[in-house]
Amino acid sequence: MRNVRALIGGRVFGSSDVTFQQKIRLSFDNQPHGFPELIFQTLSVFDTGAMACPITVTKFVGTVSLGLLTGMSYSTSSIMIPSLKLLPSSSAASRCFNEVKRLNRKYALRLSSIVNTCFLFSFSISPPRRKHPYLVWICVVSTFSTYGLDLWFNRHLGLKNWALTAIQDSTGLCLSKSCATKEEDIVVVDAEEDVNGESVQREMDSERRMQRARSWLAVIALSMGVVGLWGDKK
């Protein structure tokens, strides 16, 4: 074991050009096989870089979240909204559409936040040679596909009201008095009012266009994430 300590000291102070793994293997040449080989395998894992695992895991989680965002947007624009148009009454279609829109917005903003957190964390802890710009570009595209498109298609609300509703839908926090309205009251109001079918149709078409644009942007970000993971393995 004194030989091992001396070799480790040489590794720390850089007194030899022989790699750390070669030194450990040479020190165990005259030792019995078994336990020394296990020690060598363990030390070789730490010598190759301990930060590779969290970086890869965060990239994988971010890429999976992008896949979920892409699938949710595509299914909403291609399956869910066209199905809502087949409902017999405008009031029922309006209630279902508003609920679908609210849930889709909530999970889209949350998935985008997960994507941005994972890739920015991976970029911040990566060594200089692995700080690839595509990590930042994925965050930019993901943010624009969710927050940017949502702001553009809801620009009639104003920036302040949009920010309040976005925070409310993404975090579940009640920041205004209107969100404290009971669900039973909303149902009664919708049942008493005569919902205009043409306005509901226009809202569905606008939401469908937004979901299509979001799915295309999410596909671009997902492609960059998949190519980046494949390149890290090389």
Token pair for 38: 């296990």
pLDDT recorded at residue 38: 42
**CA pair distance 225, 64, nearest whole angstrom:** 9
Other C-beta atoms closer than 10 Å to the C-beta of 159 total: 9
Q: What is the DSSP string of 133-186?
A: THHHHHHHHHHIIIIIHHHHHTGGG-HHHHHHHHHHHHH----SGGGGS-HHHH
Q: Where are the domains of the chain?
A: 2-47, 52-232
Residue-by-residue pLDDT tens, the chain, 234 positions: 444 444 444 444 444 444 545 554 555 455 555 444 544 444 444 444 444 578 889 999 999 999 999 999 999 999 999 999 898 888 999 999 999 998 999 999 999 999 999 999 999 988 888 788 899 999 999 999 999 999 999 888 888 888 888 887 777 666 555 555 444 444 444 444 577 888 999 999 999 999 999 999 999 999 999 988 887 765
pLDDT recorded at residue 222: 94
pLDDT recorded at residue 150: 92
pLDDT recorded at residue 97: 94
